[in-house]
Amino acid sequence: MRLIFNNAFASNTGVITTVGPPAVSISGNVVQVTQPYSVVPIEIIFDPPGPPIGYSMCQREMIDLSSLPPGNYTLRWTYTFTGPPDPPPTVSLPFSVPAPTIPTLGSGELVTLAVVLAVIGIMAIRR
C-alpha cells in the first residue's frame, strides 16, 4: 500500500525550509511518520544578505507500507526540529483500508459451470 502525503509551508521570515527523509513506524491503527525539519537563514546562503523573501515549499512524500489489514487508521506526521522557531504542528489524518473484493461469477458463468459439472458427473456415473 502506498500513501501519498502533501503539505505546504509558506515563509516570509528570511529562512529556507527543508525536510529530511521520513521514518515510518506502525503501532496498532496508527501510522507514525517522523521527519526532520530544518531552516537556514537566508543571510547564510546569500552574501550580502538581501531583504527577507517570501516563498512556499510544497512537500510531497510517498510512503510504502507493508500490507495493512482492512480497517480504519490514523496517519500521524510529526516534524522533528532542534532549534527556534518551533516546528510545524503534527498532522493527523484518518484513512481506511477497504476489505479486498472477491470476484464473483455472473449468471452466464454459473450456467456454464453447472453444465460442465453435470457433464463430468454423467460421465463419471456411466463408467
Does the global pTM surpass 0.95? no
The answer to whether 19 touches 79, Cβ cutoff 8 Å, is yes
Three-state secondary structure along 27-80? ECCEEEEEEEEEEEEHHHHCCCCCCCCCEEEEEEEEEECCCCCCEEEEEEEEEE
Render pLDDT for 22-35 as a digit per residue (tens, 0 to 9).
999 999 999 999 98
Region 4-27: mean pLDDT is 79
Q: What is the mean pLDDT of residues 86-91?
A: 74
Structural domain harbouring 29: 2-100
The verdict on residue 38 lying in a domain is yes
Instruction: Count the domains in the chain.
Output: 1
In a domain, 89, yes or no: yes
Mention every residue, 6+ apart, whose C-beta is less than 8 A from residue 21. 35, 36
Inter-residue contact 3 to 26 (CB < 8 Å): no
